[in-house]
Amino acid sequence: MDLADGYVPHRVAAHTDDGRQIQALTFVADLDHEAYAGMLSPAETAERIASARGQRGTNRDYLERTLAQLARLGIQDPGLLGLGQAVAAFG
């Protein structure tokens, strides 16, 4: 099953805080999808995220919500933080 926007669902093993292993559903970018843009420079990526909109909202909002949730969980991803700063620079 392929989803709109080039994501493919996968079941993976995940570990809970209490040490249990469970099955989780995750969505992985389809590198062969026509919309895959993983080879863009960081500046091009930021520019696209700043202006792109999908079926469920803007890419900027999605990135901001992702960064906020990671912060709530105490997870720091320097690459995503830098991308968020670059997107914010577009106003």
pTM as predicted: 0.73
Closest CA to 77 of 49, 48, 85, 18: 85
Q: Cα-flanking dihedrals φ and ψ of residue 76, to 5°?
A: -110, 125
Please report the pLDDT score of residue 38 as a whole number: 84
| β-bridge partners, 28 | 8
pLDDT at 2: 46
Q: Which residue has the higher pLDDT, 42 or 2?
A: 42
The whole-angstrom distance between residue 53's C-alpha and the CA centroid of its chain comes to 14
41: CB partners within 8 A, 6+ apart? none
Mean pLDDT of 10-28: 95
